[in-house]
Amino acid sequence: MAIITKITTQKKSTDRYNIFLDHGNGEEYAFSVDEDVLIKFNLKKGMELDDFAIMEINYQDEIRKAYNSAIQYLSRRMRSETEVRNFLKEKESPEPVIQEVIHKLYEYQFLNDEEYARAFVRTQMNTTDKGIELIRRELKEKGIKGDLLEAALKEYPLTNQIEKAKELWKKAMQKYSKESDRVMKQKAEQNFIRKGYSYAVIAIAMEEVEDIDESGELDALRYQGEKVHRKYKHLKGYEYEQKMKQSLYRKGFSIEMIERYLSEINDEQ
C-alpha cells in the first residue's frame, strides 16, 4: 500500500494536480491527475492506495486527457467519428481509451455523424464547385458510409448540381475560347470529371448553356490558323494546304470550316 503524502497544483496547468506517495521509502512524486479525476476518486492527503487503485486512477486520467484533447479538436469545426478516432490515434491514445472518449462525446452530443455529413454536403455545395461524386468520396474518407452517406447527399439536389456545372461550362467557354469546339469540350469534360460531376449532369449542363456560335468557332480557327501558318508559311500550294488541313483538323476543327478559313487566306493574298 502507498499513502498520499502531498497534492500540489501544477504551475502551468491549474486544473491538473501532482500526487506524491510514500511506498515506505519516503515521499516521492508518483503521477498527475485531472481535477475531475481528483474529485471522482476523492483523492486527499493520508489516503491509502493499492496498485489496482493507482492503475484505475491513471486509466481514468488517460481518458480525461484524451477527452479534453478531443473537445479542443472539435471546437475548431464539426468532425466525424472517424476523424476524431484518427486524431486520438495520432496522439497515441490506447484503443480502450479512444472507445471511452467516443462514447462520452456521443453521450454529450459533441459527435453526430448524421448532422456532420449533412452539414458537410451543404458547405461543399455552397462554397465550392465540387460535384456530388467528389463529395461522396470525401465523405467516405471521413468514415461516412451506407444510409448516412446517401441521406446526406440528398442535401445537394440535381438542380443545384446542374447549375454549378453550367457555371463551370461558361467559364470553360471563356478559358478555351481560342480552341476548337471539340477540344474545348474535351478539356471541359476532363475538368468536370476531376471535380466529381456525373456524365449525365455534364450532358445536361452543356445542352442548357447556349452553344458556341459559328462566328466564335471561326474566330478560334483563325487564331489557331495563324499559329499553324507561321509554321508552314515556307511551303507552297498543295503541300501547304495539306499541312494546314492536317494540323487544324487535329486541333478539332471541321474540314468544312478549315476549307472556309483557307479560302479566306487565298482571297487575301
Whether 125 and 155 have beta carbons less than 8 Å apart is answered as: yes
pTM for the predicted model, two decimal places: 0.71
Task: Say which residues have a Cβ less than 8 Å from residue 221's Cβ, sequence separation at least 6.
Answer: 180, 248, 253, 257, 258, 261
- For the domain covering 158-212, report its CATH number: 1.10.10
The reported pLDDT for the residue numbered 232 is 81
pLDDT tens, position by position, 31-47? 999 999 999 999 999 99
CATH topology of domain 113-153: Arc Repressor Mutant, subunit A (1.10.10)
Domains 113-153 and 158-212 share a fold: yes
SS3 250: helix
Q: List beta partners, residue 51.
A: none
Q: What is the rounded radius of gyration, in angstroms, for the C-alpha atoms of the chain?
A: 34
Cell numbers 478539356 label which residue? 187
pLDDT tens, position by position, 54-100? 999 999 999 999 999 999 999 999 999 999 999 999 999 999 999 99
Rounded average pLDDT over 136-149? 96
Q: Is the pLDDT of residue 5 over 70?
A: yes
What's the CATH number of domain 2-76, 1.10.10.10, 3.40.430.10, 1.10.630.10, 2.40.30.10? Answer: 1.10.10.10
Domain boundaries defined on the chain: 2-76, 113-153, 158-212, 216-268
Answer yes or no: CATH 1.10.3720.10 is held by domain 216-268: no
Rounded average pLDDT over 157-164? 92
Rounded average pLDDT over 97-117? 96
